[in-house]
């Protein structure tokens, strides 16, 4: 009996050891083997197997649960990141809209204040369907705030002078009569407007005040300083006459009241408002010529984007500042093909009247040899081989000149031989006075 009891106790002891071993093995493996050692009976083996199966199932469930939890966490994390991205994009859009609104409100150069009244379009342009179409375009295409646009255009006014100019501009152009020849004295009169001692003195002062900006522009764009000064002098007398009309008034009048060229001026108004927004200017403040030309160099607004430069590096192009106007004129010439060191124009000597049968003007183009056959010779060798024949009504009769490539480039600023000649002669007068005795060295 005692031996029997002892034997049973031994068996139980061995069975519990087997279970312990099984648990240990199961913990190490996801597919535990059923132990056979030390299990003597079928009953014992079944107990061990059941325990192993239970353990294995529990482990598999736990692994599956952990896996699902991991997938869920990953998905949540991904969704969170997506939402954060959407939020960031929306915030950037809001910030951009706010910036634009603030800029239109005029953070610099005055405030565009709410009148406290309705933001409906009022004023003299409000009954014009072109104004409404224009506002719709500014809102839909460029993201302008409708209320701000209504406010700006409600404030636009056309003066009697602007109305007169818009009417004149709307008339059909008279075809040019090429056979009329040169009008006696017309150049002398034109020249007299610009080549005055007052303008030259102002030009010299402007040169001294902006020496560094001019030098940098010449180095960067290859355009001599005196020609940059020639343009700014002819355009605005070095900032003295940048126009007396509000730009908005000028461009709205020329745009909405001009059947012939309204589309052109409306598109300039569009460019102007975009430019003002970009530069943080109150669009109701800046002045312009009656045609909407702005700044010291009188760029049309569409040219500000194309050719305007931030020459003083303050972050925006402002053509009412000397440095930016200087850089922009030089860049304009460079973009229109200015040849550094190239000649501009020379006087021609004539020994007959035969040249009068030739087409003339800045668009004409002849070889020097061809002109020689018509009795025209350059007074200096410093000229291109291909030239234009320029005829001007001087104070002492007709003057004949030969325009080089750079002369043509000047006419890209204003399509007129007289204009280009005035710029050239003002440039030469300034150069002579500025460099004085050193002129020969240049
Ligand atoms: Ca600037």
Query: What's the pLDDT score for residue 43?
Result: 77
Q: How far is the CA of 319 from the centre of ligand 1 (A)?
A: 8
3-state secondary structure of 391: strand
Helix (H) or strand (E) holding 399: strand 397-403
Residue-wise pLDDT for 104-116, tens only, equals 443 333 344 444 4
Looking at residues 109-129, what average pLDDT do you find? 70
Domain for residue 369, yes or no? Answer: no
**pLDDT confidence of residue 24:** 44
Query: What does the pLDDT read at residue 10?
Result: 56
In a domain, 49, yes or no: yes
Q: Is 34 contained in some domain?
A: yes
Range name among 27-31, 189-193, 402-406 with the lowest pLDDT average: 27-31
Whole domain around residue 13: which residue ranges? 2-82
pLDDT tier at 97, thresholds 50, 70, 90: low
pLDDT of residue 110: 36
Return phi, psi of residue 107, to 5°: -70, -25
C-alpha–C-alpha distance, residues 208 and 229, integer Å:
11
Q: How many CA atoms lie within 13 A of 361 on its CB side?
A: 9
Q: Percentage of the chain with pLDDT > 90?
A: 69
- The two beta strands, 397-403 and 386-394, are antiparallel
Q: What's the CA-to-centroid distance between 414 and ligand 1, angstroms?
A: 24
Give the whole-number percent of the chain exceeding pLDDT 70: 82
Higher-scoring residue by pLDDT: 104, 377: 377
pLDDT score at 436: 83
CA of 313 to the centre of ligand 1 (A): 5
Q: By mean pLDDT, which of 60-64, 121-125, 142-146 is the weakest?
A: 60-64
pLDDT at 115: 43
Element (H, E) at 23: helix 2-28
Q: Does the residue 72 lie in any domain?
A: yes
For residue 41, tell me if it sits in a domain. Answer: yes
Mean pLDDT of 258-269: 95
- The answer to which of 10-19, 70-79, 153-162, 360-369 has the lowest mean pLDDT is 10-19
Name the pLDDT band for 122 (thresholds 50, 70, 90).
very high
Among the listed ranges 4-18, 199-213, 394-408, which one has the minimum average pLDDT value? 4-18
H-state helical runs in 105-246: 129-142, 146-155, 160-170, 186-194, 197-209, 211-221, 225-236
pLDDT digits (tens, 9 = 90+) for 299-326: 999 999 999 999 999 988 999 999 999 9
- DSSP SS3 for 388: strand
How far away, in angstroms, is 340 Cα from ligand 1 center? 25
Q: Any idea which residues carry the catalytic annotation?
A: 235
Average pLDDT, stretch 335-351?
A: 97
Q: What's the mean pLDDT when you consider all of the chain?
A: 86
Tell me 320's DSSP state.
Answer: T
Segment 278-286 shows an average pLDDT of 90
**Number of domains the chain is built from:** 1
CA of 309 to the centre of ligand 1 (A): 7
Distance CA 204, CA 433 (A): 8
Task: Identify whether 279 is part of a domain.
Answer: no
Asked if residue 58 belongs to a domain, the reply is yes
Q: How far is the CA of 320 from the centre of ligand 1 (A)?
A: 9
């Amino acid at each position: 009996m005692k031996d029997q009891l002892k034997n049973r106790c031994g068996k139980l002891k061995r069975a519990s050891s087997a279970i312990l071993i099984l648990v240990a093995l199961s913990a190490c493996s996801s597919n535990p083997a059923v132990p056979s050692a030390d299990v003597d009976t079928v009953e014992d083996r079944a107990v061990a197997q059941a325990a192993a199966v239970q353990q294995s199932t529990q482990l598999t469930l736990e692994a599956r649960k952990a896996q699902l939890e991991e997938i869920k966490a990953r998905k949540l994390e991904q969704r969170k990141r997506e939402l954060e991205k959407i939020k960031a994009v929306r915030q950037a859009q809001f910030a951009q809209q706010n910036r634009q609104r603030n800029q239109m409100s005029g953070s610099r150069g005055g405030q565009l204040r709410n009148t406290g009244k309705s933001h409906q379009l009022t004023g003299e342009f409000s009954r014009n369907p072109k104004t409404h179409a224009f506002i719709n375009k500014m809102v839909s295409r460029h993201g302008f705030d409708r209320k701000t646009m209504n406010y700006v255009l409600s404030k636009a006014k056309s003066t009697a002078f602007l109305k007169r100019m818009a009417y004149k501009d709307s008339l059909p152009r008279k075809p040019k009569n090429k056979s009329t020849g040169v009008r006696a004295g017309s150049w002398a009169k034109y020249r007299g407007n610009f080549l005055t001692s007052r303008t030259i003195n102002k030009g010299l002062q402007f040169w001294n005040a902006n020496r560094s900006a001019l030098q940098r522009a010449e180095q960067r764009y290859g355009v001599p300083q005196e020609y940059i000064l020639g343009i700014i002098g002819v355009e605005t007398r070095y900032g003295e006459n940048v126009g007396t009309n509000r730009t908005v008034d000028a461009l709205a009048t020329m745009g909405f009241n001009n059947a012939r060229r309204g589309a052109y001026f409306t598109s300039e108004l569009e460019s102007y408002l975009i430019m003002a927004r970009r530069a943080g200017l109150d669009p109701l403040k800046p002045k312009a010529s009656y045609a909407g030309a702005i700044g010291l160099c009188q760029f049309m607004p569409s040219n500000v984007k194309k050719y305007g430069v931030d020459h003083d590096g303050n972050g925006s192009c402002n053509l009412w500042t000397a440095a930016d106007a200087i850089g922009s004129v030089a860049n304009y010439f460079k973009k229109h093909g200015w040849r550094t060191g190239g000649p501009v124009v020379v006087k021609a000597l004539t020994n007959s009247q035969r040249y009068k049968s030739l087409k003339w003007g800045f668009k004409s183009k002849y070889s020097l040899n061809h002109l020689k056959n018509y009795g025209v010779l350059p007074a200096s060798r410093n000229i291109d081989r291909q030239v234009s024949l320029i005829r001007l009504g001087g104070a002492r009769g007709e003057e004949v000149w030969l325009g080089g490539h750079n002369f043509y480039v000047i006419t890209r600023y204003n399509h007129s031989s007289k204009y280009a000649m005035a710029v050239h002669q003002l440039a030469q007068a300034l150069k002579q006075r500025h460099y004085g005795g050193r002129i020969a060295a240049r």
